[in-house]
């Protein structure tokens, strides 16, 4: 189970790449992330794979917080 709770990321003070994202993905579920260029798709995936830290919120994988 993956839970994303109130996840936000900004690279510049006035520009949010992601703002208050909430998502739950259960075992066996498939998820597609779509959107226009600059919508935050790559940022979200980098945070899921620990390549970046969010400014706010957390990502839980099987109950373990990976955003610390």
Give the residue extent of every domain in the chain. 2-65
For the segment 6-58, what is each residue's pLDDT rounded down to a tens digit? 999 998 877 889 999 999 999 999 999 999 998 999 999 999 998 899 999 99
pLDDT attached to residue 14: 79
Q: What is the pTM of this model?
A: 0.84
Pairing of strands 56-61, 2-12: antiparallel
For the chain, give the secondary structure using H, E and C.
CEEEEEEEEEEECCEEEEEEEEEEECCCCCCCCCCCCCCCHHHHHHHHCCCCCCCEEEEEECCEECCC
Q: Evaluate whether the domain defined by 2-65 bears CATH number 3.40.50.1970.
A: no
Strand order in the sheet with 15-25: 15-25, 2-12, 56-61, 64-65
């Amino acid at each position: 189970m993956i839970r994303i709770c109130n996840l936000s990321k900004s690279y510049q003070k006035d520009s949010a790449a992601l703002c208050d994202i909430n998502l739950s993905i259960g075992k066996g579920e498939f998820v597609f992330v779509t959107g226009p260029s600059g919508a935050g798709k790559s940022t979200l995936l980098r945070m899921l794979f620990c390549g970046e830290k969010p400014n706010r919120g957390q990502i839980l994988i099987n109950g373990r917080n990976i955003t610390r």
